[in-house]
Amino acid sequence: DAGITQSPRHKVTETGTPVTLRCHQTENHRYMYWYRQDPGHGLRLIHYSYGVKDTDKGEVSDGYSVSRSKTEDFLLTLESATSSQTSVYFCAISEGTDTQYFGPGTRLTVL
Amino acid sequence: QKEVEQNSGPLSVPEGAIASLNCTYSDRGSQSFFWYRQYSGKSPELIMFIYSNGDKEDGRFTAQLNKASQYVSLLIRDSQPSDSATYLCAVISSGYGGSQGNLIFGKGTKLSVKP
């Protein structure tokens, strides 16, 4: 997985609770991404980062926020989780705006 | 809205046959194209990328690109049961502002290789 870890790997939470997912890389790549993958929708970009403290929205950013205080860490926060945010979340990294490598994923269930 | 279309399958081929996976894209300005393989319950794994019109071969895999027709394909020769997975086509968006340079994924084609 190209030196990418995600934590936790599985999480079950309740509606309305805050949740933070962590992506950690050891490749020193500039770009980091958060995707969600749902049946019938494929992979969709939530947010991405092009450097420390530099982030931007993707296709499905509503209800999510991100932070990147260090090159190696990219955090995804669900401020108040909803059942529609039940999904598999993947982090990805790239050196340039090109080939992306994916982490192992986090399976999140919101009850 | 930039789109990448794939036949969802399942595509079933016998072991040893050639599997042909197809993808069309709507963004005429796209320049970079990728194929990822995803086993059930696992993360997407890069198989190939292609930037120029024509064919690019890597082992049993051949990627084909036709920018005029906005068409990308992946051929898998001598298919093996271990090739059974979902194959995702992805295209770098040439869009303006925040979407430029982002990967747009198709929904994937499920391939099943029968022994």
User: Can you tell me the distance from the alpha carbon of A98 to that of A74, in angstroms, rounded to the nearest whole number?
Assistant: 19
pLDDT tens per residue across all 111 residues of chain A: 569 999 999 999 999 999 999 999 999 999 999 999 998 888 999 999 999 999 999 989 999 999 999 999 999 999 999 999 999 999 999 988 778 999 999 999 999
Selected residue of A23, A47, A98 to mutate for chain B interface (largest B Cβ count, 10 A): A98
Q: Which residues of B touch A90 (CB under 8 A)?
A: 43-44
Instruction: Give how far B114 is from chain A: nearest CA, Å.
Output: 24
Distant-in-sequence contacts of B37-43, Cβ < 8 A, 24+ apart: B37/B85, B37/B86, B37/B87, B37/B88, B38/B85, B38/B86, B38/B87, B38/B88, B38/B108, B39/B85, B39/B86, B40/B85, B40/B86, B42/A104, B42/A105, B43/A1, B43/A90, B43/A102, B43/A103, B43/A104, B43/A105
Residue A75 contacts residue A83 (beta carbons within 8 Å): no
Residues 6+ apart with CB under 8 A from A10: A106, A107, A108
Going B21 to B27 to B1 to A109, the CA torsion angle's sign is positive
> What's the confidence (pLDDT) of residue B83?
98
pLDDT tens per residue across all 115 residues of chain B: 678 999 888 999 999 999 999 999 998 888 899 999 999 999 999 999 999 999 999 999 999 999 999 999 999 999 999 999 999 999 988 765 445 678 899 999 999 999 9
Nearest CA in chain A to B5: A42
Q: Which residues of A touch B43 (CB under 8 A)?
A: 1, 90, 102-105
Phi first, then psi: give them for residue A83, nearest 5 degrees.
Answer: -65, -25
Question: Which two three-digit tokens encode residue B74?
Answer: 């992946």
Q: Which residues of B touch A43 (CB under 8 A)?
A: 44, 88, 105
User: Can you tell me the distance from the alpha carbon of B20 to that of B42, in angstroms, rounded to the nearest whole number?
Assistant: 22
Residue A90 contacts residue A25 (beta carbons within 8 Å): no
Residues 6+ apart with CB under 8 A from B108: A42, B6, B8, B38, B86, B87, B88, B89
**Based on C-alpha coordinates, what's the Rg of chain A?**
13
Question: Which two three-digit tokens encode residue B19?
Answer: 């599997």
Question: Which two three-digit tokens encode residue A9?
Answer: 């790997």
CB spacing of A102 vs B45 below 8 angstroms: yes
CB spacing of A97 vs B92 below 8 angstroms: yes
**How many Cβ atoms from other residues are within 10 Å of residue A63's Cβ?**
14
Residues of chain A whose beta carbon is less than 8 angstroms from a beta carbon of chain B are 1, 33, 40-45, 48, 56-58, 90, 97-105
Question: Which two three-digit tokens encode residue B106?
Answer: 């198709």
Selected residue of A33, A100, A101, A106 to mutate for chain B interface (largest B Cβ count, 10 A): A100
**How many Cβ atoms from other residues are within 10 Å of residue B33's Cβ?**
25
CB spacing of B43 vs A1 below 8 angstroms: yes
**How many Cβ atoms from other residues are within 10 Å of residue B26's Cβ?**
13
